[in-house]
Amino acid sequence: MKHVTCLLVVAIAFVSTAYAQRVTRDIPYATAHERQVLDVYAPDGAKNLPVVFWIHGGGWQAGNKSMVGAKPTAFMQAGFVFVSINYRLLPTVDMGALTSDVANALGWVHRNIGTYGGDPARLLVMGHSAGGQLAALMCTDDNYAKAEGVSLTMIKGCVPVDADTFDIPAIIEVAETRARVHHLPLPTNGHRQKFGNDPEKHRDFSAVTHVAANKGIPPFLILHISGNADTSAQARRLAAVLQAAGISAKVVGRDTTHEGLNDAIGAPNDPVTKEVFAFVADALKR
């Protein structure tokens, strides 16, 4: 496929402040597939700014890099470069290839973001839903970062948003137990199948498996909706493992929907947005 990179310069306003931004879309970070592309949003004149690396959700089977809402504008207004990535999806590829795409994109950002005014040594990795699982994995399993020449110490903070798969064996057991006790059919396209139907893979794709002290794992802000027992439990589970390893982790629940929590990030006066920016400000002091 011929990749087209377009440069769009527009004037936008956020919180009553007008400024110029540069949006460079569909930049290839690999060449094997049309989904191996990313978008870079940068304030005009950006230089050595911290970088938000955003991973979209969609159950590893759907979604795209345009699902960013107000986030690029909010982060640029605050003095960040914002990157949103696509990756190949199930069932076209398996979870190993999908996860490698995310790591490849992170490596591309490390090597190239300086051209767009970003600082490769000050990365913040964030994602929603399936993207939250991928974000947490990138920030705990240092094999992904090392393969791309990235140190976890360059990642200053991680913000997974309403993900249910930090501990994949646990979510599989919960879902299958729930089905059995209610005499319902077992899932046929659940986490067991998506992550390879192999207990070793389930453990390896779980962020909790890789948490350990002295690896450079960054602080976490783990967001979830209060009304979902699974994402709430998984948020607390990840936080407990991180804290036991001496890594800062804060859990914030919100009474909203799975989509609403994500869509509101970046909106003026949104309480979760305030939590995110307070966390980021503190994380960048690392």
Q: Is the dihedral of CA 192, 197, 200, 204 positive or negative?
A: negative
Domain edges within the chain? 6-167+206-283
| 4 or 152, higher pLDDT | 152
Nearest to 139 by CA among 129, 149, 154, 128: 154
Asked if the model's pLDDT at residue 242 lies above 60, the reply is yes
Could you tell me if 84 and 73 are in contact, meaning their C-beta atoms sit under 8 angstroms apart? no
Domain spanning 6-167+206-283, CATH architecture? 3-Layer(aba) Sandwich (3.40)
**SS3 of 130, please?**
helix
Alpha carbon separation from 281 to 42, 163, 183 (Å, rounded): 18, 23, 49
- Report, as an integer, the average pLDDT of 78-95: 98
Query: 168-201, pLDDT tens digit by residue?
Result: 999 999 999 999 999 999 999 999 999 999 999 9
Q: In whole angstroms, how far apart are CA 218 and each of 45, 140, 157, 159, 272? A: 28, 8, 5, 10, 20
Give the tens place of pLDDT for each residue, 203-230: 999 999 999 999 999 999 999 999 999 9
Structure tokens at 69: 């809402």
* Helix and strand totals (H; E) in the chain: 11, 9
pLDDT beyond 90 at 14: no
> How far apart are alpha carbons 93 and 144 in whole angstroms?
18
pTM of the prediction?
Answer: 0.93
pLDDT value of position 19: 53
Averaged pLDDT score across all residues of the chain: 93
In this model, does residue 95 exceed pLDDT 90? yes
Query: If pLDDT is split at 50, 70 and 90, which confidence band does 2 have?
Result: very low
